[in-house]
Amino acid sequence: MSDHNHHDDCGCGHDHDHEHDEEIFIVTDQDGKEHEMVMVYTFEVKEQAYAVLLDRNEPEADGVIFRIEEENDEAFLASIEDEAEWDRVVKVYEELMEQDQQ
């Protein structure tokens, strides 16, 4: 995996209540700093699953989108490194959020 991470505004705009039974993911940013992230939303684009995670300690910060990949029946998060894929995923996510707000 490369150091290329997208920290663009996910456009989430939701008020997320964090519960104590949430699943925490440790994500290391490009500066080597670890963040406790909470998965708040999942969606699919062209039969590929994606997850939106928020920093557990900074719930007002922008969300981060990761691709959900499976290998040997185990799921893991992967950075989206392809710019065309990133643009496509963000566009779909923004459309979903617009629909949710209506």
pLDDT score of 25: 87
Residue 30, classified by CB atoms within 10 Å of its CB into exposed (0-12), middle (13-18) or buried (19+), is exposed
Q: What is the pLDDT of residues 48-75, one digit of tens each?
A: 999 999 999 887 888 899 999 999 988 8
Run of H or E residues at 75: strand 74-78
Copy the structure tokens of residue 9. Answer: 């505004």
Q: Give the other-Cβ count within 10 Å of 68's Cβ.
A: 15
Judge whether residue 101 has pLDDT over 70. yes
Section 8-19 average pLDDT: 42
pLDDT score of 20: 46
pLDDT score of 17: 44
